[in-house]
Structures are given as C-alpha cells and as structure tokens.
Structure 1
Amino acid sequence: MKLGKIKKYVNEGNRISVDYENGKANVYLVTDEIVRFEIPCWMENYASVAIEGSKEKPCNYKVYDIDNVICIENQNMKVKISDDFFTEILDAEGKKILSDYRGERIIQRTLSDKSKKELAAEGHDVSNLEAHNYKVQIIKEIGEGDCFYGLGDKTGYLNKRDYAFENWNSDIPQIHNENMPAIYKSIPFMIGKTCDAVYGLFFDNTFHSYMDFGKENSNYFYYGADDGNLNYYFLYGKKMTDIIREYTYLTGRTGLPQLWTLGYHQCRWGYESADDIRAVAKGMRDNRIPCESVQYDIDYMDGYRVFTWDDEKYGKPGDLISELEKDGFKAVVIIDPATKKEDGYFMYDEGVSKGYFATNPDGSIYVNKVWPGDATFPDFGREEVRRWWADSHKILTDMGVKAIWNDMNEPASFEGPLPEDTVFEINGRITDHREFHNVYGHFEGIATYEGMKKLTGKRPLVITRACYSGSQKYCAVWTGDNQSIWAHLRMLIPQLCNLGMSGFSLAGTDIGGFGADTNKELLCRWIEAAVFSPFFRNHSAKGSKAQEPWKFDEQVMDIYRKHVELRYTFLPYIYDLFYQGLETGLPVMRPLVLHYEDDVNTYNLNDEFLVGENVLVSPVVEQGATKKLVYLPRGTWYDYFTGQAYEGMQYIVKDAPLDVCPIFIREGSIIPTYEVVQYVGEKTYDRLILVTTPGDASYDHFQDNGEDYQFEEGKYNLYRFTKTEDEKLVTELIHEGYKKYEKIDIRRL
C-alpha cells in the first residue's frame, strides 16, 4: 500500500486528512488516549460493527509539519506521519512506543527450490515458505523481549510472541493444538508490551485477516487482510489495565449478569429425552452438588427445527421445564441459526415470504446442509431479520426458557463453507460472505439478546460460540469443542485470560472436555482449574464417556462437590468483579502480568491466574502431579485453606494431592462470601461472610436482586468495608436502595 509522498494535510475537528501522491489517509483523535489510523482503500465512511455510536471526545492537540513529517501532539503522545503513511508513536517524553517497519517482508528461513519441491511432493504445504503480501497490510517493528497478549480465545500460550494466527471463524472438529491458526472467534485486538511501554492495537476489519507476531521474521509483526480498509486504533496507556479500559470503552463492556448464571451448569449432547434430563437433575440434588441448569442440546428440538420442541421425547412443551424449575433448575436451550428448508415449517415459510434468508448472487435462497438437513441461513445483518429472530424466542420463553445458547454460528455447514459471493446485508448495505462471515454470530447474538431482554425483562444470558469484537456487550462465550486431554486443560488458563483481556469477561471452557473420554484424575483437576472461570459448565459429546461426577467413584464425587461448593462460596466476590467491570472493563479472570507487569516472571506464566486482584489460583494441570510449583508476586500471600503466610517474589512448592487446588489471598484483602446453597434462589442471601487477611484493607461490595435492571434505577446497596492494622472492621453503606444483610460475619485467615 504505497501511497507515495505527502502532498498536503487538512485538519478539521478531530480528523487530520493527508493527501498523498497515490491516495489519501486519515488520522482521527478519538480521545486523548485513542488514535485511529485509516486508509479508505475500499470504502469511505465505513461504519464499524464492533463500535456503536460515536466515541469521539473533545481533544486538546496540535498539528504541525517538520521537514514534510506531520506531527500530531497531545498531553500523552506524539504521532509522526511520513511519506507512504509510515507512522511512529512516541510518549510525551519522546520515547518511542511503536513504529512502522520500513523494510520488506522477508521470511527468516532459507530453503532451496529442490527442498521445496521435495516437501511439496510429499504433500506438505509450502505456500508459507514465501512472504505473501495482502491487499490490506501494516507492518510494525518488534523489540527484543516484546510480548503480545489478547486476540480472544486463540489456542496456545498466554504470550503470542513467535506465533501466527488468522481471523476467520472456523468450526474445526480436529483437536485444537497450540498453533491452530483460527477457531471460532475473530477478535483482532492485541496488547503489546515492550521493555518500558504498553499499548493496544485494534484492527477493525471483518474480512479474513492474518496476524503474525514475529514468526515470519523476528524484526517485525504484521497485520494483513484480504480486503476492506486499513483501519486500526492505537490505544495509549501507562498500564495494561489502561489499555483494557480504553478498548472496552470503544467496543463495549460485559453487562452485569444474573447471579444464577454464575453458578454451575451441567450439559451433554446426548440427553435425548425428558427422562435423561430428569435423571441428571435428580443426580445433582441427590448428591448435593449445587447446580443451576441441566442444559438442552440439539436433541430437544423436533427434527432440529429451530424454535420447536420434541413432544414425543420431552413431553408437552413447558411441562418438563416447569417441573424442574420447582427444584431450582433454569432452562437453557441451544439454538442454531440454520433453518430447515421445508415447506409448511413456520420459520422457513415466514423467512421465504419476507425474504429473510441469505441468497445466491442470482437472488435464489442459498442452501447448505446442517443438522436439520437442507437448511437456509437468516441474514442477521438486517435489522428486520434480527427483530423477527428476536420475537421468535417468545415460543421458548412462553415454555419457561430462561437463557439461550447460540451454536454453529460461524456459520458452520456440512457441505463445504458458504461461497464467498453469498449475499448478505449489513444494516442496509449489500455485501457478501467475505465481509460478513466473521460477524454472522455477532449479529445473531444481538438479535438473541434483544429478544430475551424484551421478553423476560431480565439481564439475558446468551452464550455464543462465534463472535467478533464488541460481542461482549451481548454475549457470554465458551471456547468451543475442546477435548478431554491434558493439553486442553492446560490451555484453559491462557485462553480465558486472553479472552478476558479482549473484553470477554463472561467466558468458560467445557469442563472435562467436550470430545473424547475424560478420566477420574482429569475431571477432578478440570473442575479445580475451572472453579473460578466466569462461565462454569460441564459439557460432553454424544458417544464420549459420561462426565456427571456420580458416574465415577466417591472420591470424585467428594472432590467435585467440594469445588462446586467453593464456587458458590465465592459468588458475591465474582459478582462484585462483574459490577466493577462495568466501569473498568477489567475481567474476572486475569493473568498475573496484568497487575505485575514489571515482574518478568509473570510475562509467560501459563498455569496460574488471578481472580480480581486479591485471589491467586494455581491449579494442577499436569497428569500425575501431586505437588505444584507456584509463583507468588510481590507482597504477602495467605493459603486460603490453611492460613499459612508466604512472602512473594518467589516460587514455592505446594503439596497438591488430587483434592487440592492451591489458592492464595493477598495481604490486605477483604473477600465477600456466601453460605453454600444448592442453587441461587434456594434461600435469601441474608448473611455475608467476609474473609480477611492481615493488613489495612478497603473493599466495596455490591448487592441487588441479581436479576434485572432495577440497579440502574438505584435499587441496590453498596457497602464499604474498611479494616485497619488493629483488625477492626468499619462498615459503611455508601448507597442504600435494597434490603440489607441481616448479618455480616468475619473469617480471618
């Protein structure tokens, strides 16, 4: 994308437009911390899917020209724009944060033509042995020791340095290994950490795109896309937490979930009748394992027709749901976007009559095979289609359904991918599958969220497999079809931490693994590792070994129960973190580097995490291990179970037999906890138990009805607990709008 020499620039409001010999570029001062860079090589005035509404704020800055270099300067940074739209960004003191790479793309590996031919003859892909320049492309310098975080739930390790990925939502049935280019989600946001700076980059382009963090060449990282504009945002901050705040300011923050949705969920593709669902629900209650829902996978539908119910296998619509609701179980059902092509089926007939399905270029309805057989695909980019889909959920809410789980929305299809020229719309603009693919699940999520919000009046739980940046405003996510293998248990921590740093706080994995067969040790270690994952669900595949804990032995039952009860103990703390996230954008589950970014020991720490700032969890994720090497950052940390104190900035070895997950509480902490219940709503939470550690502490605790939007009208309590060195606790009610706790107790570690 060679634009040539600068001819002139024009400064209007928050925009600096630069005319070049071979085109033009724009720089937007969105806020004092966010700068947008754009080459409108595809479309003028592109409207973002991820960013809703104007985010521009009045900015104080100046623009001037020095030797044909345009300088844009504000209180935080200086941006230098040169010929060919080369950019360099410096902090207020003049220290370089990030700069474009001025060389050519060169793969740092040498291979003779003979070797390439031999590799190709044996069936190896040799296309990655040559640098491929993309239609849209930007290359940035890498410094020695630079680290990269974010990108959503890409596979592999926490730090993405030396790896390459693609943004193309993909339903891949094979085992997801650490260098898988793409899986279900496209979240082209990254946090860069240099030796003395941090920054964020959000590449807002929904076409198939590519991100390489030094794998091709250790001198640079690059972003490329098959089409669209060069359109990216630079986010300035002094700390990584600042970057997350800015990114979620742009793309939106996870809403406050209903309290029950943070409890335990049980699911299996293979509960094929009402009796199967009843048996699992009974097993949960008989074995005293707290549980909120036994979720309904695709088997509950009549022939996999969306918004239907199989009366023959599951009984009269609503009866089973009502029966189980009396014992505290909330109905969560799956919905796929693929709509069966069948005359007489109401969803298909309505969609055809109103022209709601994606089409071929000749105007005929596009058809592919999915679970119901021949199926059509609603064009969710159109507002009227989203309203239709949203309203269709009344069929389910009338039965008593409380939450929706969107699956197969990459969109997945059985007879090859949708052709690139399949026709869609994005809010009135005709486009094709190339642009729309990565946001198909995003728009379906909006429709589902709006429907459930309107129909129930409660905060919706919409769980989605596929999505794009900004979907966190509407959806919870899980990492898709993982496997019952130790490698996927280990991947849980970096995946969920990177999702959290990418805005998706309400995220989880399938506990025990979805595909293949789990075993006693793996299931125990998985429930321990997942106990603080924000979305907390056990899910397995038809044909795999059953993962209900009573299908194993008493030891498994006891360990499983212990850790599910632990989750319910910490519910108010987790809920508080979601409330705080409304303001900060920070996730519940966090890598240690997020709060200890000056500690090199945290940069590549893949097997432990923080819950908020005050709780450190270091689960065992290696087969056969009964001890755990734990890194404790600065400060003093207290073993949650024994109260033993450990000084930080060191590694310790903790005994970790099969029933123990090492958990530590930071010095100067106040952690709100509840008594264990079998489900949220079993009884009123009228007693709060504060777990405290020595040292001065202050903590704000949020309390409301845990269901709807009344808190936005002031119907909530906000407590402030303050503790000094003499261990006296002072309680203030800094906002009162809800029924207060009857009792507040203290448990000192």
Structure 2
Amino acid sequence: MTLRAYHRPDARPVAADAATVVGDDYRVTVLAPELLRVEFDPDGAFDDRATQTVWYRDQPVPEFSVDRGDEVVVDTGALELRYDPTDRGFTPETLAVEVRATATTWRYGETTALPGTARTLDTIDGRIDLERGLCSRDGLAVLDDTASLAFGDEWVEPRDRHDDYEDLYLFGYGHDYRGALQGISAIAGDTPLVPRFALGNWWSRYWEYTDESLRRTIDGFREHGVPLSVCVVDMDWHVVDNPNHDGWTGFTWNEALFPDPEATLDWLHEQGLATTLNLHPAQGVHPHEARYAALAEHVGVDPTTEVPIGFDAADTDFLSGYFEEVLHPLEEQGVDFWWVDWQQWRESPRMEGLDPLWALNHLHAFDRTRDGRRPFLLSRYSGVGSHRYPVGFSGDTASTWDSLAFQPPFTAAAATVGYGWWSHDIGGHWGASGSPEAFGELYARWVQYGLYSPVLRLHTSKMPYVDKRPWRYGRDVEAAATDALRHRHALLPYLYTMAHRAHESSVPLVEPLYVHQPEREEAYACPSAYYVGSDLLVAPHTRPRGEDTNLARQSVWLPPGDWYDFHTGEPVAGNRWHARYGDLDDVPVYLPAGAIVPLAPESDWGGVTVPDVLDLVVIPGEGVFDLYEDDGVSLDHRDGAFATTPIETTLDEDDETFTVRVGAATGDRSLVPDARDVSVLVRGVTETVVAASDREVESEYDQDSRTLRVDFGTLPTDESVELTVTADGPLRASREPVVERVRDLLWHFDAHGDAKPTVERLAIDDDLAWLTDFATVLSDAQIRALVETVHGVGADRLVDADADRLVLWNHDGRDDVTYRFSTWDRGIRHPTHGTSRSGVVPAFETIDLADYESRAWELVVTYGDVSVTVAES
C-alpha cells in the first residue's frame, strides 16, 4: 500500500527549456531575474524532479542573454553570472555573480547571508548558532539543495547523482529582502493560512491531567476572564505498557485518567477550544496499543505474533497505516491537530538522508488536507521549506532572562528563511525558580512578549511548584499577564489579516527592522525591536527591573517618520534611538502615522469566530487596511470563500482634517455578521478634536490614551460609513513634557525622598554640572536614566541573533557626554593593561562584541564629570 495522493505535492518541477543554459556538465536555470539555479554534474544527468525543498521551477521565463565565449556569461539585468567550464566544477575562480543592486560580486563558497533560524532551542539558555538565511547585506545568498531527496512515484527517494554533484539556488535580490522571501515561496510553495484558533492563547502543561483536573483548569481561565483558544494535552494522555519502552511513545488513551476521551474532547470543543495531543512516534507501535492489530494487518504482520511495528519514515506501508489506522481514529474522536514532539534526530535505516522530522512535518501537514482542512501541526523546524508546515515548536527552553532576551531576535531572524510561525514555550520549560516572587516578573515579561509573537503558547514542565496561570502570582504580575492575554484575543482581527498576508504575499508576521529599512545601519543594530504585521513595531522588555530605578529598560531605534505609543497615544520621534523605561505594565509598542489596527474587544472566549464588535484604532495619516475574514479552518478560502472590509484613512495637507472610511464587506458575506457594533478610536490627538459623520454617533475623549472614541452603534456590514475629525487647534497630540517623564522616573527611583524635588528641578537643565553634587545621592543607573530620558544620549548592550553588540547614540551632538571602551586579556583584571578607544559619544556607533569574545571589556560613559559603567564582560 502506498501513501495517498494528498500526501504528495502537486508540484511543477520542470523549468521551461527557454529558461535553461546547458553545457556538458553544468546547467543554469533562470527562475527570475534575481534567482538562479546552478548545477554541476560530471555525468551531465540533471534531475528535474521536485525535491524536499523545491517544487516549482516552472516559472515565467524572464528576459536574459547568454554569451558562450571562454566563459559562460548569463545576464538577467539584475545579475550577471560568469562560469568558466574548462576547470570542470565550481570554485571561487570559476563561478562568480555580480549583483547590480548592491554593486557587489559573489564568488562560489562565500557565505555572507544574514542569520536565519535553527532546528530547536532545546536545552538552550540564551543564544544558539543559527543557519544562514536567504537574505544578504552583500546582495546574494545561497540555498544548497544538493543533499535533498527527490519525490518519486510514491515517496521521496535518493537522487542518482555523481559524488561531485552540486545543486545551488542563488538568491541575488540585493536588499530587496521581501523579494527574496517571495522567491523562496515561488519555488518552494506558499505559507499556508493558519487556522484562526492558532492565533489565540494556548494552554499547555506537561502534567498528568485527569478529565476532572483538566476541566477544572480550563474553568479557572474562564472564571478569571482569561481567554483561551487551544488546549494542549502533553505526553501523559496515553498509556505506557511495555518494559522495553521508555514512556515517550504512545497512541492509546490512558482511561485511568480519561475514562471517556470523546466526552473530554467534546467538552473542550464546547468551550471553544481546539485540542492537540503530543506524539513521540520514534519507537513505533507496540502490541499493547489499541490500534496495533489494525496496523499490523495493514502492513502485513500477523497480529498474534505481537511483534512491535517499528517506525520508519521510508516505509510507505507503515506511514500510510500510521495515519489511517492509528491517528485518524483519534481525530475522529475529536483531536484537531497534532504536536509532533520529535527530537530523536535518527535517520531512516532504509534511506540515507531522510530526516524523520521532515517526513513527519510534511505528512502531518498534508494529511489534514484530505478533508479540506488547512496544513497545520506543531513541530520543530526541519530546514528551508518548513514554512509550508506551520507552526514551529522551538523546544524546551530555559526559564531565564537570557533565554527570553534571545527569543525576539531569534524569531525575527527566521523571516530571512520565510519561516514566520515560531511557537515558544512562553515562560520557558525548565529551570524556573520555585518562588512566585522570584519568577513572577520574568513570567509577566514573557507573556507580554508572547502577546506580540507569532503564537502565544503558555507552557510548563512537570514541576509542581511552577505554574503559568496568571492568578497564581501576585497582584501586579497577575494584572500584567492577564492584560496581555486578553489583549491577544482582542488583536485577532489584525493578526488574522496579517496571517492571510503571509499566505498571499510571503510576508512573515514578524520581521526584523532591516527588512523595512535595509539601507539604515541602525536597523541592523536594533535586534530588540521588530515589526508585527504592517502597523505594529514592538520592543518588548526582556530584562528585569533595575534595583535602583525599579524600572525595566529597553533601547529601540524608530525608523524615520511620525510614531505614536500604541497604548498612550503619545507622539514619539522617529529616526532616532530611545531608551524606554517602564514599570511592569509597560509594553513598548509603536504605531506609525496612518496605522489602522482592528480589535475585537468582546471576541468569543475561544477566539475562533468572526467578531460582531470591532474597535478600529487609527492614527492620523494616510492608511489602508483590508480586514480579512473567512471560516477560520478550511481550505475554502483558496476558492474565494472569504470576505474583506476595506478601511481607509486620509489626512489633508494642512493636518487639520482626518477622515476614516469603513467600506462595506465584499466577497462571501455569509462569513461575516449582518451587522456589527463599530467604534473608531482616533489615537494620538488633542482633546479639542471634534467628530462628524452622516450617521448619529457618540464620542468621548480619553486623556490617558490621547484617544477620541467614536461609537457608531450597530452598523450593517453591507454599508459603508465615513468619519471626519477636526480640531479647534492642533489635531495631533503633543509629547509629554520632559518634566513629567522625569517625575515618573523619580517616583520609581529608590532614592531619598527629600532629594527628589531638587533633582526634578535640576534634571531638565541643559548643563550636566549638577550631577557632580548628586553623584552620592543618585546611583549610576539613576543618573543614566535621567540623562538618557532628558537629553537623548545613551548606550546599551543589545542581544542579537549572532552576537551581542554595544550601541551608542547622541542625536543632539552633546560634547559633555563621553565614552571609553576598554579591552584587556582575561585574568589581568584591569583595563589600563589593555587597549581602549574613547571620545565624545558619537551620533551613532556600534561595537560588535563577537570581536572581543576572548577578551575582557567594559564600556564607561561619563556624563559631565560623573562616570558610569554601562556594560562589561
């Protein structure tokens, strides 16, 4: 028996003859002006089958020229490839490509690509080495597909190739990083639209639940007003009844824990929750399993022999039976999708080069399509092309600040391989402190990061004194975590529209700043910030609050333009660095002028339905947003079963009149409610604003969020509406006076109360001489916070995907703030025995700490006459 047709891609792997340039032992295929396939095969036997990575080489043939002189020259306009065939093979001397967009030349063997991602973060406490992505600052990155297996008639199989065979894809998109991502989607397939439920909050705990205790846990979330959309049941759902079995693998419900599994799953569905079970299939199917006999007959084994049926990713009889006889009956009971928790890394004994992780990812994703559901599972990353198999489980990470700090740059960097759906253990898996007081702040910050990460999956290892339910912590932590989890579900209309954008346009949900600003060095130097969709720029707090300031600190560079705080509506200057200080309830999120963010403040608790209440957060400016909605689970959207609601904002040339237009829903209107309660929240405006519309509206201004809220009441979704906002004075809100920001800092500072009024008065003085008299009253961290906040000159150590870096900035060119960066041999313990560089803090500078991994170092910044150690090894 073979795999089903739906398990194999509907590939178009053969490129047009007109797109190829062929020699005796080489072939160049022009897939796009910026994308080339380059092969070398001494036998001249080139393989046109789809591989594990590349399925669609039948692309429109672009214009290009070929010159076959001493060298073969292929010129596409964007790239000029030169190959000398006389030496037979690819070397730096024989193969080179000029990238015209960056005026650079790549030579064979060079690896200058930006960081991509990794298979797993298992056991990692901090940074891990990442594979390279498909984007490069030099303009060209390489995808090596040489080792990929090819799809045969039934399943993948080794390619019959010469030992010296090479199969390379050259992504020469210059700094058009989104173009590179569209390139990989064009040849490897698109990112599926994830189910709507995937974007809500997931509850996961490695725990020996019973039906009763699981229900009690879920009821607790509802009672505390914390929404969920997915319930994950970890390993202990199944029985273990084999002395030679280590307990990981299992496919049979443990009825001592779940006496009626169907009733349990039905109840979870009634609560609006999709459900997944954990799988570790490495040890095959043993005789104690409920479906052993059915599988044995499927693969031709006599069930009475009770011979274990081994797992083999190359055995199509086993694989087809594994799904049809073992997993499908569980799905019929109500399992919605699978968590493939594969970490054994073992290669198939029958097929060299077949990674079981890739096989399971591919088969699980495509198996769901048999009944019209979307490709979807939770599993680890298995190489370029894994964007076809969302979502990624990043493994069992440490519950530490270092682990949290690495996750934002790690997640954003994955965009360079088109992998946009990472799911992390929010709160970490292992190593958490057993004290709620010690762990609470880290937990709250992790949940706030999860709010603005692709998938928010709360998770805990099997530790009885560690819990990720918000109400198990103190009041402040509970409030911060609960607010984040509620806001996640409110964001579903925005996030789901962005998920559709990822599917249609190959734009990952999370992107590093340099995708938007590839020519700005600052964008590469700010890994702590990233885009979430089209209109949110996020820089979550990933460090604990300072002992002296009682505030967390985050550094963020905002690109050119007008920016606004998402929550307060306060204007924030673009094209500059900011040191953001915040209490536990502070989540640094910025919106550009013209931003449109639809929210569902009263969305269904399970988060899986289209909302009938919408809040549209808008910032004055020019903006367009097409709200996307469908049934949330099926593939019908590919055939046009979806609806869109256009939202547009305009601002007149004098910045005096701001207009918001909400259009009628178009497309399949059966997928949206007949009417909705709609409110427009015009954020970042003054209290003098006035709203006008051809409909009766109610409006109210909120000073704390600088927001004019305009309630339209119930609006038919087949009608459009327009809102005009004017002001008796300036339309846009002004930034909070610096004295108010100083007062907020001082309120939190652990400093003598009698000194604070004087510090408040002196801190806003342009002359820093006053600091000398207060150096014994204020700590180094407090002095640094005041100067950075008031004067916009600062420095920080930032965690990047590859290595930490120091960043310094001085936007106003102050000459009374200087720095000294010193390095010395480890063990000497004194910077005067090493080397240093110093001077006035520059307008912008970075120091790559990867260059100093073998040395000790420190960065000292001097404010006036007061020196502060900002960072050290």
Pair 1:620 & 2:538 matched: no
SS at match of 2:459: strand
SS at match of 1:237: coil
Q: Which residue of 1 aligns with 2:489?
A: 568
Distance between the aligned counterparts of 1:731 and 1:724, measured in 2?
Answer: 12
CA contact (8 A) 2:250 2:289 kept: no
Q: Which residue identity lines up with residue 737 of structure 1 in the other structure?
A: D
Distance between the aligned counterparts of 1:188 and 1:603, measured in 2?
Answer: 15
1:75 to 71, 74, 77: 77
SS at match of 2:320: helix
2:594 to 648, 661, 668: 668
CA contact (8 A) 1:263 1:679 kept: no
Distance between the aligned counterparts of 1:255 and 1:27, measured in 2?
Answer: 30
Distance 1:470 1:41, change over 3 A: farther
Q: Which residue of 1 aligns with 2:26?
A: 25
Q: Which residue of 2 aligns with 1:500?
A: 415
Q: Which residue of 1 aligns with 2:570?
A: 644
Q: Which residue of 1 aligns with 2:110?
A: 140
Pair 1:387 & 2:340 matched: no
Distance 1:200 1:526, change over 3 A: same
Distance between the aligned counterparts of 1:63 and 1:259, measured in 2?
Answer: 48
Distance 1:595 1:356, change over 3 A: farther
Structure 1 residue 710 displacement after superposition? 2.7
Distance between the aligned counterparts of 1:677 and 1:423, measured in 2?
Answer: 49
Q: Which residue of 2 aligns with 1:161?
A: none
Q: TM-score, normalised by structure 2?
A: 0.66
Cα deviations by residue, 1:141-163 (Å, 9 ceiling, x for unpaired): 76xxxxx32432x3xxxxxxxxx
Structure 1 residue 707 displacement after superposition? 2.3
Q: Which residue identity lines up with residue 253 of structure 1 in the other structure?
A: D
Distance between the aligned counterparts of 2:211 and 2:599, measured in 1?
Answer: 35
SS at match of 2:281: coil
Moved more, 328-337 or 611-620: 328-337
Q: Which residue of 2 aligns with 1:404?
A: 338
Distance between the aligned counterparts of 2:512 and 2:101, measured in 1?
Answer: 29
SS at match of 1:724: strand
SS at match of 1:745: strand
Q: Which residue identity lines up with residue 75 of structure 1 in the other structure?
A: G
Structure 1 residue 228 displacement after superposition? 7.9
Distance between the aligned counterparts of 1:600 and 1:684, measured in 2?
Answer: 41
Structure 1 residue 376 displacement after superposition? 6.0
Cα deviations by residue, 1:649-675 (Å, 9 ceiling, x for unpaired): 111233310121111111111111111
Q: Which residue of 2 aligns with 1:584?
A: 505
Structure 1 residue 393 displacement after superposition? 2.5
Distance 1:582 1:460, change over 3 A: closer
2:210 to 262, 265, 273: 273
Cα deviations by residue, 1:627-665 (Å, 9 ceiling, x for unpaired): 332221111110011111112111123331012111111
Q: Which residue of 1 aligns with 2:55?
A: 52
1:603 to 512, 524, 546: 524
Q: Which residue of 2 aligns with 1:135?
A: none
Distance between the aligned counterparts of 1:378 and 1:44, measured in 2?
Answer: 33
SS at match of 2:140: strand
Distance between the aligned counterparts of 1:569 and 1:230, measured in 2?
Answer: 49
Q: Which residue of 2 aligns with 1:328?
A: 272
Q: Which residue of 2 aligns with 1:121?
A: none
Q: Which residue of 1 aligns with 2:461?
A: 541
Cα deviations by residue, 1:118-170 (Å, 9 ceiling, x for unpaired): xxxxxxxxxxxxxxxxxxxxx1176xxxxx32432x3xxxxxxxxxxxxxx67
Distance between the aligned counterparts of 1:492 and 1:94, measured in 2?
Answer: 30
Distance between the aligned counterparts of 1:341 and 1:333, measured in 2?
Answer: 17
Pair 1:234 & 2:155 matched: no
Distance 1:329 1:93, change over 3 A: closer
SS at match of 2:364: helix
Cα deviations by residue, 1:371-402 (Å, 9 ceiling, x for unpaired): xxx97653334555443333232222222111
Structure 1 residue 734 displacement after superposition? 7.3
Higher RCO by CA contacts (8 Å cutoff, separation 6 or greater): 1
SS at match of 2:668: coil
Q: Which residue of 2 aligns with 1:151?
A: 116
CA contact (8 A) 1:620 1:661 kept: yes
CA contact (8 A) 2:194 2:390 kept: no
Q: Which residue of 2 aligns with 1:550?
A: 471
Pair 1:201 & 2:142 matched: yes
Distance 1:278 1:384, change over 3 A: same
Q: Which residue of 2 aligns with 1:316?
A: 260
Structure 1 residue 258 displacement after superposition? 1.5
Q: Which residue identity lines up with residue 354 of structure 2 in the other structure?
A: F
Distance 1:92 1:39, change over 3 A: same
SS at match of 2:368: helix
Distance 1:524 1:227, change over 3 A: farther
Structure 1 residue 683 displacement after superposition? 6.8
Structure 1 residue 273 displacement after superposition? 2.2
Q: Which residue identity lines up with residue 204 of structure 1 in the other structure?
A: D
Cα deviations by residue, 1:713-736 (Å, 9 ceiling, x for unpaired): 323222222211121122334732
Moved more, 90-99 or 283-292: 90-99
Q: Which residue identity lines up with residue 705 of structure 1 in the other structure?
A: D
CA contact (8 A) 2:146 2:166 kept: yes
Unaligned runs of 5+ in 2: 1-15, 150-161, 241-246, 302-306, 434-438, 652-656, 684-873
CA contact (8 A) 1:307 1:395 kept: no
Q: Which residue of 2 aligns with 1:748?
A: 682
SS at match of 1:616: strand
Structure 1 residue 693 displacement after superposition? 0.7
CA contact (8 A) 2:97 2:107 kept: yes
Q: Which residue of 2 aligns with 1:686?
A: 612
Structure 1 residue 688 displacement after superposition? 2.2
Q: TM-score, normalised by structure 1?
A: 0.76
SS at match of 1:698: strand
Distance between the aligned counterparts of 2:660 and 2:607, measured in 1?
Answer: 29
Q: Which residues of 2 match residues 367-446 of structure 1 at below 5 A?
A: 377-381=310-314, 383-391=316-324, 392-408=326-342, 410-412=343-345, 418=346, 423-424=349-350, 431-432=351-352, 435-437=353-355, 440-446=356-362
Distance 1:386 1:450, change over 3 A: farther
Distance between the aligned counterparts of 1:668 and 1:689, measured in 2?
Answer: 16
Q: Which residue of 2 aligns with 1:246?
A: 183
Distance between the aligned counterparts of 1:681 and 1:568, measured in 2?
Answer: 6
Cα deviations by residue, 1:427-462 (Å, 9 ceiling, x for unpaired): xxxx32xx113xx2222122222333335x432431
CA contact (8 A) 1:356 1:378 kept: no
Distance between the aligned counterparts of 1:44 and 1:313, measured in 2?
Answer: 56
- Report the number of matched residues: 615
Q: Which residue of 1 aligns with 2:127?
A: 178
Q: Which residue of 1 aligns with 2:663?
A: 732
1:478 to 393, 405, 412: 393
Distance between the aligned counterparts of 1:582 and 1:257, measured in 2?
Answer: 9
Q: Which residue of 2 aligns with 1:298?
A: 235
Pair 1:16 & 2:21 matched: yes
Distance between the aligned counterparts of 1:722 and 1:737, measured in 2?
Answer: 21
CA contact (8 A) 2:229 2:607 kept: no
CA contact (8 A) 2:36 2:169 kept: yes
Distance 1:488 1:614, change over 3 A: same
Distance between the aligned counterparts of 2:573 and 2:480, measured in 1?
Answer: 29
SS at match of 1:587: coil
Q: Which residue of 1 aligns with 2:378?
A: 463
Unaligned runs of 5+ in 1: 1-10, 101-138, 143-147, 155-168, 182-186, 209-225, 358-373, 413-417, 425-430
Pair 1:88 & 2:21 matched: no
CA contact (8 A) 1:253 1:503 kept: no
Structure 1 residue 189 displacement after superposition? 4.0
Pair 1:62 & 2:65 matched: yes
Distance between the aligned counterparts of 1:748 and 1:174, measured in 2?
Answer: 45
Distance between the aligned counterparts of 2:228 and 2:604, measured in 1?
Answer: 6
Distance 1:141 1:478, change over 3 A: closer
Q: Which residue of 2 aligns with 1:126?
A: none
